[in-house]
Amino acid sequence: MIIGITGQIATGKSSLAQAFFENGFKVFDADKTYNHLLSSDTMMREEILFIFGTLDRKLLLNNVLANTELLTKLNSITHKYVITQMHKFLKENMNNNIVLDVPIPVRKGFLDLTDIKIVTCTNQDNQINRLKNRYGVNEAQAKKRIEMQMKMIDYINIGDIILNTDNTDNEDLIKFVKIFKNTYMKGN
């Protein structure tokens, strides 16, 4: 079974993916893969450098936060490399239960590959607080990062399961995974 986890920034995707990992699932983390490729994949780095003139993560972030067209350009460069790595991961783990932790649910290379899509969501105050704690940003910067994402309703519309993470902790997520397995994976 291939489970897709998606949702806006700071909604609990990685925490949920970790709970699945702790229950024996193989997890592909698109964000971690992107960060690894940004430091190691020569072709991707050259494409980014050609368009943006830098590989510095903070400068790239500042550029895309200031201009949505630049975000689209960056995504068009990086997605193909991340999707290639994801296909490699899927091939290597085809006999396992798999979780794809992907922040941008593209039709080809995510939506078409997953058996069940779980969308994580939380209220915007939680998102802002999580972003402030994680990245040391102020409220305006946190809101800007959220605004650059797909709208929450668009995530919800593609989800088979919507998981509200407003008041969840790791123990709650482990329980969710156990319930998920009992409900959707009898015999696995």
Q: What domains appear along the chain, each with residue ranges and CATH number?
A: 2-183 (3.40.50.300)
pLDDT at 106: 85
pTM of the full structure: 0.93
> Does pLDDT of 186 surpass 90?
no
CA distances from 51 to 4, 44, 47, 81, 178 (A): 31, 11, 6, 16, 45
How many angstroms separate the Cα of 138 from the Cα of each of 57, 64, 111, 134, 147?
A: 18, 17, 33, 11, 14
Q: What is the pLDDT of residue 185?
A: 87
Per-residue pLDDT averaged across 46-60, rounded? 94
Question: Is the model more confident about 46 or about 111?
Answer: 46
The residue-averaged pLDDT of 19-26 equals 97
Percentage of the chain exceeding pLDDT 70: 99
**The predicted structure's pLDDT at residue 188:** 57
Distances, alpha carbon 170 to alpha carbons 97, 120, 145, 176, in Å: 20, 14, 25, 10
Tokens of 27: 């997890």
Residue 179: exposure state from Cβ atoms within 10 A (0-12, 13-18, ≥19): exposed
Q: Which has the higher per-residue pLDDT, 58 or 163?
A: 163
pLDDT digits (tens, 9 = 90+) for 65-97: 889 899 999 999 999 999 999 999 999 999 999
Q: What are phi and psi of 100, to 5 degrees?
A: -105, 110
Distance CA 146, CA 143 (A): 5
Dump pLDDT digits (tens) for 124-145: 999 999 999 999 999 999 999 9
